[in-house]
Amino acid sequence: MLFSIETQTTIGYGFAYPNTDCGGALPLLFIQITVGIFLENMLLGFIFVKFAQPKRRRRTMMFSKVACVSQEDGEICLQVRVGDLRQSHLVDAKVHGALVKSHVTSEGVTYPLYLHDLHFQANGMGDTLMLMWPLILNHKVDKDSPLWDIKPADLSPEKYEVIVCIEGTIESTGEFCQARTSYVPSEILWGHRFDRIEEFDAGNGRWEIDFAGFNDVVYHTNIRHSAKELNSFKEARKSRNMRTKPPRPPTTPVSLHSVTYDQPPEYPGAANFTEYQKTGSPKLSLRGFSQTEDMKLSADLDCESEKPAKDHDLGDGEQVLAEAMSTSDLSTSDISDEGTVKFVCEDSEDDFHDVSN
């Protein structure tokens, strides 16, 4: 024992020391040194691992005891509340989740513990967390979500588990930390949402958080169907409303007999025309030209109506001023000495008909 202590602590042997006169002393010295170095390194490793795994830091991360399924902006969402009790928060904290449930392939192979990805986001920050105060994590249950066809626990015998993980770096030590929790169907409350725990103190001019109500929930709405079924109900209601709309009244074809300038073609500006517009009639395009600039007009006219003639006026005096719009795709070579109007029916292959003033 004295030899082992003197060798390991290197305090010196004194008068009793190993030498060549004793054949077993030197091998025993080598064994003692080797075992001593191994024990010291192992003890140092245990201490390092103890500090490198911040278990106590993970205990300060709070997860709500239950998860909620409620409506947010008309969408079904899975919600979880998280918080951090320490003043020094995690740096670059991220959140992600997974759904564990059975999965059967098209070949009939069953995976009882199949992992599906769940995308959580906090407010408008995506998966990035700033845990300066408690946050509510939202997972939108849409067509791409593995929760799309899952119903409340009392309506479906399906077994599954939702896992939520938060990862980040400890601000004081720079060590990586992960905190996680999970929820089974009995711990997911449908139609509930988390109660508000933020209150503004007008006297101090700051917000205060009541962690005593961290797990409090309130009833919000009755949700007894899966997100898939609710979406089907909305689509069916929308389709039914479209079918029940009253039909549009039939329209009578209108005959356009002539179009005249409101001002002479020499007027240096946009030409003004008269037109007749009837609801439900096809579109007919009018192009007006003057000697000073190219103009294009469009009006809703009936292509099935009688083709315009030079020597007639609009029937019953029904005339409406057409809107003139300038264009750059008309060539001045098409302009005649007298201003003309060209009728172009978009639904017909008839030739152009020019009507002069």
> Which is more confidently placed, 75 or 345?
75
Q: What distance in Å separates the CA atoms of residue 352 and residue 341, rounded to the nearest whole number?
A: 10
Is the model's pLDDT at 308 over the cut of 60? no
CA dihedral 347, 349, 350, 351 (to 10 degrees): 120
Residue-wise pLDDT for 139-169, tens only, equals 999 999 999 988 888 777 889 999 999 998 8
Residue-wise pLDDT for 11-69, tens only, equals 566 566 666 667 666 777 778 778 888 888 898 887 776 666 666 667 788 999 999 99
| Distance between start and end Cα atoms, the chain | 128
Q: Is 214 helix (H, G, I), strand (E, B) or coil?
A: coil
What is the band of 100 on the pLDDT scale with cuts at 50, 70, 90?
very high
Place of tokens 């060539």: 331
Say which residues have a Cβ less than 8 Å from residue 43's Cβ, sequence separation at least 6.
none
The tokens for 319 are 């005339």
What is the band of 6 on the pLDDT scale with cuts at 50, 70, 90?
low
Q: Percent of the chain having pLDDT more than 70? A: 58
What is the per-residue pLDDT for 55?
64
Q: Is 265 helix (H, G, I), strand (E, B) or coil?
A: coil
What is the band of 281 on the pLDDT scale with cuts at 50, 70, 90?
very low
Entry pTM? 0.54
What is the per-residue pLDDT for 23?
65
Structural domains in the chain, CATH included, are 2-52 (no CATH), 57-232 (2.60.40.1400), 274-356 (no CATH)
What is the band of 5 on the pLDDT scale with cuts at 50, 70, 90?
low
Is the model's pLDDT at 299 over the cut of 60? no
